[in-house]
């Protein structure tokens, strides 16, 4: 018997098994890998990292999970860097990781990236993205769509469904997925949050509406979820198949990636790869078109979006994205239409400049241009643009503002909380009419947040406060009807408040809008329905905004309150159902920005009497302003007048105002407004306010498990948690982990800020009980014909968890006679290995040095000729070899039983042996213990063993699972399984189509897996059981 070869084959049996090892000092990130192309030669993915986590690209390792088996030949390259406020790179923001596909024998694999290893675990020398990707066309369906009225019910009608290739991009041959919330937590997307995080925090519930609509909108861009309206014939014909690009180009790439980071839904990630790669490849590289998106029929700078390219580059390292980002930064830095003039303090002219939109896209291009290239030239240009933008929205000097706007004679628009300019610039009115675009202002949120990220410029907060006030007061393009109570396709006749087909509503759309007659329209019809696509900006901006107080949820609540965290544009679910869509509409409600007495920045309104107009007062009072002509309709701002400065909300309070919502318009018209209750003035005490902390219900935590505590501070600020009983429990964030039974005490503290004193410490007592009876594989076994040489029985098993576990390993033969087995193995020999190291050996169990403990365990064999080992093993992988003493042969069983530590369960078993016929087939047994069902994958492999040099592999295994005498599942070829998608996602799908696998959820009990050869064929096979 060649021992090394047997142990190598034992390792083969364990190769796909999973194991959790002891917690390491290094940080670990779990990555799911799915093969999307069979000709893949390398695994390649980007790993975003939070600031300060990693500085040396070589200090990482990649290991299998579970299993903790190191992967060899890992290559790395720094993709992006974090920068400090001075523009100096400080740590790695995204790292490209590659390793050979041979480490991924199946279609799926889970790995852990170990960050900050003690020694270098990776080397340079990554391959280009072209070696790791394949060409992928995006094929959609088109349809003629109408909303029809049948029997008083509106329904959607679709006819003439046709396929259409929209564009062609690329996809990685191996798609990497990230833990839920991980990308949001790295800071790559800015101050972003996952949907799960948002839903878990009570003060963020006001954002659920936006999250829901963001998901709906993103899904509506996908051909799998939503068909596109047929192209409309135009002359001259478009460059590509789609008639117009706005429907999928309002940064479709960034929208998909944001949706994936927010929801964790992999479909968004897959589609982002195609869109982002196509977009990157369509950015001009030289001449007049350098940095220009070539998919537009004419040169247009405002369609050069940098953010999506930046995010895509961080996740893939695609060199085409780096080139696109560089070329866009070069273009914006040299732009003469807007940038060159705005950098020196003014717009270029007053004709058709689209001030907000060009400000947004140029700042985006230069800010992310610096982030993706590290070229300080673009950072400097972004700073110069911001200087003008900040002055434009904050100046109180009319002469200064006129100089910025290049105002023509006769026009004098007073300072506003927006980038005010002439309506003629947007072709929306005359030179003497003021204009600020609400929907274009939404585009500025992320570029300014990113600008603040690379510069540390806190003046961005003030811009957001003012911009938030403007947008809350004018509404947005997407809230002209009550979409909360409407369906995905709202009643087209209910929109009394809008005037025609060009009215804007928040409708999930793919390159189309629904006009008032109910006809689905494409943008080629040239109406404002194109701006449905701008909901990408609205949703993406709002989700990264911070909901700072629960009082935003109540549009009628005007009580005094403080905010928590930095102030961002906050657009939540409290809007007027008849909010006007334009700045002119805002002025026509009675607020004329050209008159100081009516402008909310020129003094503002606040008084003890909310129905009166008065100058802004600093008298420790709250005021809620009303419309000048309608005392029953209040404006959506309140003011805390208690502090000394009116400049910065996050520094000195909220006396600059914050949105709480306007009155809802009722009924089918836009005239009547709901009466609002009188405002009660609130007096603020001088100095800092006090605060208290209250815990929610205590979690139930058993030994070996964890739970989460939740405490709230009356200030709205976030508490921090510590354990005062570390010998019983530990705390990380708000997660409490039990390390011993007893009383766990968690302390919550809140240090306060400029407005609040520190809170008195609050504590919560949690009783830690015994180990939870979790579902698990309690006992595992395999029966087969034990022969000699290479055909002895080789069993592999894995222990999970973080603590040692006592097990009994048995090899039986003679006792099988009572079950009718006549050719049993007369005298089994048992050897237990870890790797190539022999840990223990036994012939007859009665000779064991710990025989008393073995007998007390209840698992001692019944026949003196049988072998058993009682041993304590650390988490890891082990191999048990069963042979016959004196080279005898016969049917034998290898078994593993847990003696203690059910919190560290047996994960899996894999046994290799020769499959014959009759009683000499391969039989695996396993017992599910615990209080609930357990999902397992059971596999029977044969053909794939040939690659490991195993002679005579079983050509076509057949797998059956029994409970007692009842067959509960059967499979010949795994690709025919009804749940093949879930099987592939598990990471345990076989690599050969002739092999068998069953994914099934089983109740606690005993089960048998039998492996035979189709057509009574014979050969060497492996039976494996994996706990999910």
In the chain, % of residues over pLDDT 70: 64
Tokens 């002055």 — which residue? 391
The whole-angstrom separation of Cα 796 and Cα 770 is 30
Band of pLDDT at residue 653, cut at 50, 70 and 90? very low
C-beta separation of 136 from 170 below 8 A? yes
> Which one has a higher pLDDT value, 615 or 250?
250
**Does 626 fall in a domain?**
no
Three-state SS sequence of 129-190: HHHHEEEEEEEEEEEEEEEEEECCEEEEEEEEEEEEEEEEEEEECEEEECCCCHHHHHCCCC
Q: What is the pLDDT of residues 502-544, one digit of tens each?
A: 332 322 222 223 333 333 333 222 233 333 333 334 434 433 3
Whether the pLDDT of residue 729 is over 80: the answer is: yes
Structure token pair of residue 296: 């537009």
> What is the β-pairing status of strands 701-703 and 762-771?
parallel
Q: For residue 212, what is the DSSP state?
A: H
Structure token pair of residue 416: 């506003």
**Does 988 fall in a domain?**
yes
**Does 609 fall in a domain?**
no
DSSP states of 308-350? HHHHHHHHH--HHHHHHHHHHHHHHHT-TTTHHHHTTTS-S-S
Q: How far is CA 374 from the centre of its chain?
A: 26
Structure token pair of residue 340: 């060159």
Helix (H) or strand (E) holding 810: strand 805-812
pLDDT (0 to 100) of residue 741? 80
Residue 878's CB: how many other CB atoms inside 10 A? 22
Whether the pLDDT of residue 314 is over 70: the answer is: yes
Three-state SS sequence of 763-807: EEEEEEEEECCCCEEEEEEEEEEECCHHHCEEEEEEECCCCCEEE
Whether the pLDDT of residue 243 is over 60: the answer is: no
212-230: average pLDDT: 62
Are both 382 and 521 inside the same structural domain?
no
Q: Is 1026 exposed, middle or buried (0-12, 13-18, 19+ CB in 10 A)?
A: buried
**Does 642 fall in a domain?**
no
HSE-up of residue 890 (Cα within 13 Å, Cβ side)? 23
Any idea which of 40-49, 212-221, 554-563, 757-766 has the lowest mean pLDDT? 554-563
543-568: average pLDDT: 28
Phi and psi (nearest 5°) for 454? -90, -10
Cα separations in angstroms, 664 against 480, 578, 605, 632, 849: 12, 8, 21, 11, 82
> Which one has a higher pLDDT value, 240 or 850?
850
113-137: average pLDDT: 93
Band of pLDDT at residue 358, cut at 50, 70 and 90? very high
pLDDT (0 to 100) of residue 480? 30
Band of pLDDT at residue 250, cut at 50, 70 and 90? low
Q: Which residues of 64-99 are buried (b: 16+ CB within 10 A; e: fewer)?
A: bbbbbbebeebbbbbbbbbbeeebeeebbbbbbbbb
Are both 52 and 179 inside the same structural domain?
no
Q: What is the pLDDT of residues 929-983, one digit of tens each?
A: 776 788 888 999 999 888 777 888 899 999 999 888 889 999 999 888 888 888 8
The whole-angstrom separation of Cα 252 and Cα 218 is 8
**Does 586 fall in a domain?**
no
Tokens 């929801």 — which residue? 263
The residue out of 754, 771, 788 marking a domain boundary is 771
Q: Which residues of 308-317 are buried (b: 16+ CB within 10 A; e: fewer)?
A: bbbbbbbbbb
Are both 759 and 781 inside the same structural domain?
no
The whole-angstrom separation of Cα 462 and Cα 393 is 9
89-99: average pLDDT: 96
> Which one has a higher pLDDT value, 288 or 904?
288
pLDDT (0 to 100) of residue 454? 92
51-72: average pLDDT: 92
Any idea which of 123-132, 618-627, 795-804 has the lowest mean pLDDT? 618-627
102-113: average pLDDT: 90
Q: Structural domain of residue 794, as residue ranges?
A: 776-1027
> Which one has a higher pLDDT value, 186 or 366?
366
**Does 666 fall in a domain?**
no
Angle 355-373/445-455 helices, nearest 10 degrees?
A: 40
The whole-angstrom separation of Cα 804 and Cα 839 is 15
Whether the pLDDT of residue 232 is over 70: the answer is: no
Structure token pair of residue 304: 């050069």
Structure token pair of residue 750: 């809140």
905-913: average pLDDT: 67
Whether the pLDDT of residue 769 is over 60: the answer is: yes
Whether the pLDDT of residue 69 is over 60: the answer is: yes
The residue out of 755, 771, 787 marking a domain boundary is 771
Q: Could you tell me which of 464, 635, 660 has the C-alpha nearest to residue 561?
A: 660
Are both 191 and 117 inside the same structural domain?
no
Are both 502 and 427 inside the same structural domain?
no
pLDDT (0 to 100) of residue 198? 72
* 70 backbone φψ class: left, alpha, beta (φ>0; ψ -120 to 50): beta
Band of pLDDT at residue 574, cut at 50, 70 and 90? very low
Are both 79 and 19 inside the same structural domain?
yes
State how many domains the chain has. 5
Q: Which residues of 209-221 are buried (b: 16+ CB within 10 A; e: fewer)?
A: bbbebbbbbbbbb
Are both 826 and 863 inside the same structural domain?
yes
pLDDT (0 to 100) of residue 867? 93
pLDDT (0 to 100) of residue 690? 75
pLDDT (0 to 100) of residue 1017? 92
Overall pTM > 0.75:
no
Cis peptide preceding 151, ω within 30 of 0 = no
Are both 791 and 753 inside the same structural domain?
no
Are both 65 and 189 inside the same structural domain?
no
182-206: average pLDDT: 74
HSE-up of residue 588 (Cα within 13 Å, Cβ side)? 9
Q: Could you tell me which of 928, 890, 892 has the C-alpha nearest to residue 909?
A: 928
CA dihedral sign of residues 296, 299, 305, 308: positive
Are both 706 and 782 inside the same structural domain?
no
992-1001: average pLDDT: 91
**Does 954 fall in a domain?**
yes
Band of pLDDT at residue 197, cut at 50, 70 and 90? confident
CATH of the domain at 862: 2.60.120.380
Are both 794 and 921 inside the same structural domain?
yes
Q: What is the pLDDT of residues 836-887, one digit of tens each?
A: 888 899 999 989 888 888 887 778 888 999 999 988 888 888 888 999 999 8
Whether the pLDDT of residue 998 is over 90: the answer is: yes
The residue out of 475, 503, 535 marking a domain boundary is 475
CATH of the domain at 738: 2.60.40.1080
The whole-angstrom separation of Cα 1019 and Cα 912 is 11
HSE-up of residue 359 (Cα within 13 Å, Cβ side)? 31
Residue 381's CB: how many other CB atoms inside 10 A? 25
Whether the pLDDT of residue 635 is over 60: the answer is: no
Band of pLDDT at residue 430, cut at 50, 70 and 90? confident
C-beta separation of 634 from 610 below 8 A? yes
Any idea which of 71-80, 419-428, 510-519 has the lowest mean pLDDT? 510-519
HSE-up of residue 602 (Cα within 13 Å, Cβ side)? 14
Residue 306's CB: how many other CB atoms inside 10 A? 30
pLDDT (0 to 100) of residue 1014? 92
Cis peptide preceding 236, ω within 30 of 0 = yes
Whether the pLDDT of residue 175 is over 90: the answer is: yes
Are both 780 and 914 inside the same structural domain?
yes
**Does 708 fall in a domain?**
yes
What is the chain's mean pLDDT, rounded? 71
Any idea which of 202-211, 417-426, 820-829 has the lowest mean pLDDT? 202-211
pLDDT (0 to 100) of residue 221? 61
> Which one has a higher pLDDT value, 812 or 551?
812
């Amino acid at each position: 018997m060649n021992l090394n070869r047997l142990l190598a084959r034992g390792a083969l049996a364990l190769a796909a098994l999973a194991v959790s090892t002891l917690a390491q000092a290094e940080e670990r990130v779990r990555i799911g890998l799915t093969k999307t192309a069979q000709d893949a030669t390398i695994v390649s993915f980007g790993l975003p990292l939070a600031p300060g986590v990693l500085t040396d690209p070589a200090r990482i390792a990649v290991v299998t999970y579970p299993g903790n088996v190191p992967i060899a030949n890992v290559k790395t390259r720094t993709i992006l860097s974090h920068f400090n406020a001075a523009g100096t790179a400080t740590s790695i923001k995204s790292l490209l990781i590659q390793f050979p596909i041979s480490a991924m024998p199946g279609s799926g694999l889970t790995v852990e990236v170990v960050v900050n290893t003690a020694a270098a675990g990776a080397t340079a020398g990554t391959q280009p993205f072209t070696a790791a990707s394949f060409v992928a066309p995006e094929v959609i369906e088109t349809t003629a769509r109408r909303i029809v009225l049948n029997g008083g019910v509106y329904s959607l009608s679709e006819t003439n469904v046709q396929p259409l290739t929209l564009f062609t991009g690329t996809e990685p041959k191996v798609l990497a997925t990230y833990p839920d919330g991980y990308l949001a937590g790295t800071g790559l997307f800015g101050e972003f949050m996952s949907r799960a995080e948002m839903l878990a925090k009570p003060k963020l519930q006001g954002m659920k509406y936006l999250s829901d609509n963001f998901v709906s909108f993103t899904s509506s861009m996908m051909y799998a979820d939503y068909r596109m309206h047929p192209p409309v014939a135009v002359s001259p014909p478009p460059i590509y198949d789609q008639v117009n690009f706005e429907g999928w180009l309002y940064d479709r790439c960034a929208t998909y990636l944001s949706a994936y980071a927010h929801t964790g839904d992999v479909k968004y990630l897959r589609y982002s790869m195609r869109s982002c790669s196509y977009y990157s490849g369509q950015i001009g590289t030289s001449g007049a078109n350098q940095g220009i998106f070539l998919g537009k029929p004419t040169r247009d700078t405002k369609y050069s979006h940098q953010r999506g390219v930046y995010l895509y580059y961080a996740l893939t390292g695609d060199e085409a994205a780096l080139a696109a980002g560089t070329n866009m930064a070069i273009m914006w830095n040299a732009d003469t239409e807007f940038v060159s003039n705005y950098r020196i303090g003014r717009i270029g002219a007053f004709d058709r400049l689209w001030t907000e939109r060009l400000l947004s896209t140029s700042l985006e291009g230069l800010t992310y241009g610096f982030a993706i290239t590290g070229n300080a030239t673009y950072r400097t240009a972004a700073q110069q643009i911001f200087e003008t933008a900040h002055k434009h929205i904050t100046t109180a000097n009319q002469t200064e503002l006129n100089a910025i706007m290049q105002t023509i004679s006769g026009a004098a628009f007073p300072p506003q909380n927006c980038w005010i300019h002439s309506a003629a610039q947007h072709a929306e009115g005359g030179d003497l009419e003021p204009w600020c675009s609400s929907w274009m202002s939404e585009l500025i949120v992320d570029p300014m947040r990113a600008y603040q990220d690379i510069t540390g410029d806190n003046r961005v907060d003030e811009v957001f406060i003012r911009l938030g006030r403007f947008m809350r007061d004018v509404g947005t393009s997407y809230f002209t009807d009550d979409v909360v109570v409407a369906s995905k396709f709202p009643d087209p006749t209910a929109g009394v408040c809008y005037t025609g087909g060009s009215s804007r509503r928040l409708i999930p759309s793919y390159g189309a809008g629904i006009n008032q007659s109910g006809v689905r329209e494409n943008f080629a019809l040239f109406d404002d329905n194109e701006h449905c696509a701008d909901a990408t900006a609205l949703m993406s901006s709002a989700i990264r905004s911070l909901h700072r107080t629960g009082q935003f949820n109540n549009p009628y609540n005007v009580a005094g309150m403080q905010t928590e965290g930095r102030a961002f544009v906050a657009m939540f679910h409290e809007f007027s159902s008849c909010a006007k869509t334009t700045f002119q509409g805002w002025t026509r409600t009675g607020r004329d920005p050209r008159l100081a007495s009516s402008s909310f920045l020129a003094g503002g309104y606040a008084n003890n009497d909310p129905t009166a107009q008065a100058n802004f007062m600093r008298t420790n009072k709250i005021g809620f302003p009303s419309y000048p002509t309608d005392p029953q309709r209040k404006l959506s701002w309140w003011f805390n007048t208690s502090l000394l400065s009116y400049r910065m909300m996050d520094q000195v309070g909220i006396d600059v105002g914050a949105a709480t919502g306007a009155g809802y318009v009722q009924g089918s018209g836009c005239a009547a407004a709901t009466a609002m209750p009188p405002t009660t003035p609130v007096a603020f005490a001088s100095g800092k306010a006090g605060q208290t902390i209250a815990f929610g219900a205590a979690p139930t935590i058993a030994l070996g498990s964890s739970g989460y505590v939740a405490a709230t501070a009356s200030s709205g600020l976030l508490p921090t948690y510590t354990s005062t009983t570390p010998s019983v429990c530990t705390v990380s964030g708000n997660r409490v982990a039990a390390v011993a039974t007893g009383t766990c005490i968690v302390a919550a503290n809140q240090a306060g800020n400029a407005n609040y004193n520190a809170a008195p410490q609050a504590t919560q007592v949690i009783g830690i009980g015994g180990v939870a009876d979790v579902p698990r594989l309690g006992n595992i076994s395999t029966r087969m014909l034990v022969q000699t040489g290479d055909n002895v029985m080789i069993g592999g098993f894995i222990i999970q968890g973080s603590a040692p576990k006592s097990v009994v390993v048995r090899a039986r033969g003679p006792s099988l006679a009572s079950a009718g087995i006549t050719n049993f193995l007369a005298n089994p020999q048992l050897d237990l290995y870890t790797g190539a190291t022999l840990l223990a050996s036994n012939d007859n169990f009665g000779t064991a040095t710990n025989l008393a403990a073995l007998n007390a365990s209840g698992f001692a064999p019944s026949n003196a000729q049988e072998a058993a080992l009682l041993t304590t093993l650390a988490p890891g992988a082990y191999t048990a070899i069963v042979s016959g003493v004196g080279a005898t042969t016969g049917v034998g069983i290898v078994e593993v039983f847990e003696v203690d530590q059910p919190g560290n369960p047996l994960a899996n078993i894999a046994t290799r042996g020769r499959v014959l016929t009759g009683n000499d087939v391969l039989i695996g047994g396993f017992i599910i213990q615990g209080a609930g069902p357990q999902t397992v994958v059971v596999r029977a492999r044969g053909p794939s063993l040939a690659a490991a040099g195993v002679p005579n592999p079983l050509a076509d295994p057949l797998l059956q699972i029994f409970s007692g005498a009842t067959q509960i599942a059967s499979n010949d070829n795994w690709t025919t399984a009804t749940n093949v998608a879930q099987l592939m996602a598990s990471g345990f799908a076989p690599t050969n189509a002739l092999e068998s696998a069953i994914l099934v959820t089983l109740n606690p009990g005993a089960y048998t897996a039998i492996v035979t050869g189709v057509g009574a064929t014979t050969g060497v096979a492996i039976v494996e059981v994996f706990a999910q």
